[in-house]
Structure 1
Amino acid sequence: MPTKKDLRITYLEKRLNLPATAAATANAAILQHCMDLDYSSMRYVHLFLPIDAKKEVDTRPLAQWLREAHPQVNLVLSSTDMQTSQMLHYLWDAHTVLTTHRYGMTEPAGGTLVAPSSIDLVFVPLLAFDLRGHRAGYGKGMYDRFLQQCRPDVLTVGLSQFDPVPAIDDAGPWDVRLKMAITPQAIYDFKS
């Protein structure tokens, strides 16, 4: 079975080699599945903005759709301290100033802080995931630390252009499992 390190290498390469038309088709299908989720009781939804150079799932159309279809939802973005691997979470509204730092991450330059315990749904970037909801990211553990600060009932939804692997061999007890994952082909539910 693959380790997270193996999956990082394999799936980053797969993503980088995905033709632009295939990536656009995958992103559109993922957005359609995201639109099927129930947002009626959601007040705070955490998004990530894609690192375009790494061809992450493009969440910008999802943000636009959420603003139009669910005006009760407040969008939240994080800024990351790469030295400490800590994240701060900010309301993303019309006044938010976004900056792109040297790692290619577009993040808020500041604004109104939002406590992780207020967040109802977190869309999680990932490179790969397995059939139990374990995921492989870039290996810094930032999202694991962030998700541990959220309420136990927070809905965590990973977004991936690729289907799951059967199992990630070295998933540990410190890894926070996803409750759902969305690919172009399907919505996976790990809550049960």
Structure 2
Amino acid sequence: MTKQQLRAKYKEERNLLSSSDQEQNSAAIVRELIKFPWATIKFLHVFLPIKKMNEPNIYPFINYVKNYRSNMALVIGRSNNLDFSMCHFLFTEEVSLVENRWGIMEPNSGEEIKETELDAVLVPLLVADNYGNRVGYGKGFYDRFLMRCKPSCLKIGVSFFEPVQHITDVGSFDIPLDYLITPTGLKKFI
């Protein structure tokens, strides 16, 4: 299937999940995130889930990192609607968040972090394939962002759904994942 077909299918699939299923699946994803080997990660870029899009709730993992992983700094992004790029800021208690036009909570300001400093990125997505290619919302924010990260930066997708066999229209600009975390566990692509 194409990215467009998969995007439509998995948006609908995600919207059909009951609140209970979303909570259970999110909790399973958080358990997998906590188990991940984070020991060498200094800067972890996370996403703040979009509630109206029924994204996996990773806030318990974010709280876990803040409370139990003092050696790891969290980083969040702010989108630029003009060129579909992102800039990134340390996610500290002092950071104030504002909602953008897509309903994403973003930092208003703060200490900026360059993409090349990031050791790992949690990538929100709808679905991935067995090769680590992913389907997001189609604006290309994450492809542009991940392209500027250092080669060793881990790209870790987070999805409610298991990988599909193959996305048929992957382009040279698409940045594949290294890992995918779903409610059933961790998939490694590297």
Offset from partner CA, 1:109-160 (integer Å, 9 cap, x none): 0111000000001000001100000000111111011001101010110000
Q: Partner residue of 1:61?
A: 60
Q: Partner residue of 1:115?
A: 114
| Partner secondary structure for residue 35 of structure 2 | coil
Q: Partner residue of 1:44?
A: 43
Q: Give the partner amino acid of 2:59.
A: R
State, as a whole percentage, how many aligned pairs show the same letter: 34
Q: Give the partner amino acid of 1:132.
A: Y
Q: Partner residue of 1:11?
A: 10
Q: Partner residue of 1:84?
A: 83
Tell me by how many angstroms 1:35 deviates.
Answer: 1.0
Structure 2: how far apart are the matches of 1:144 and 1:102?
Answer: 20
Q: Which TM-score applies when normalising by structure 2?
A: 0.98
Q: Give the partner amino acid of 2:33.
A: C
Q: Partner residue of 1:34?
A: 33
- The alignment of Structure 1 onto Structure 2 pairs a total of residues equal to 190
Tell me by how many angstroms 1:185 deviates.
Answer: 0.6
Q: Which runs of 5+ in 1 are unaligned?
A: none
Query: Are 1:22 and 2:40 matched, yes or no?
Result: no
Offset from partner CA, 1:29-74 (integer Å, 9 cap, x none): 0011111111111110000001100001112111101112211111
Q: Which runs of 5+ in 2 are unaligned?
A: none
Tell me by how many angstroms 1:83 deviates.
Answer: 2.2
User: CA-atom RMSD, angstroms?
Assistant: 0.7
Q: Which TM-score applies when normalising by structure 1?
A: 0.97
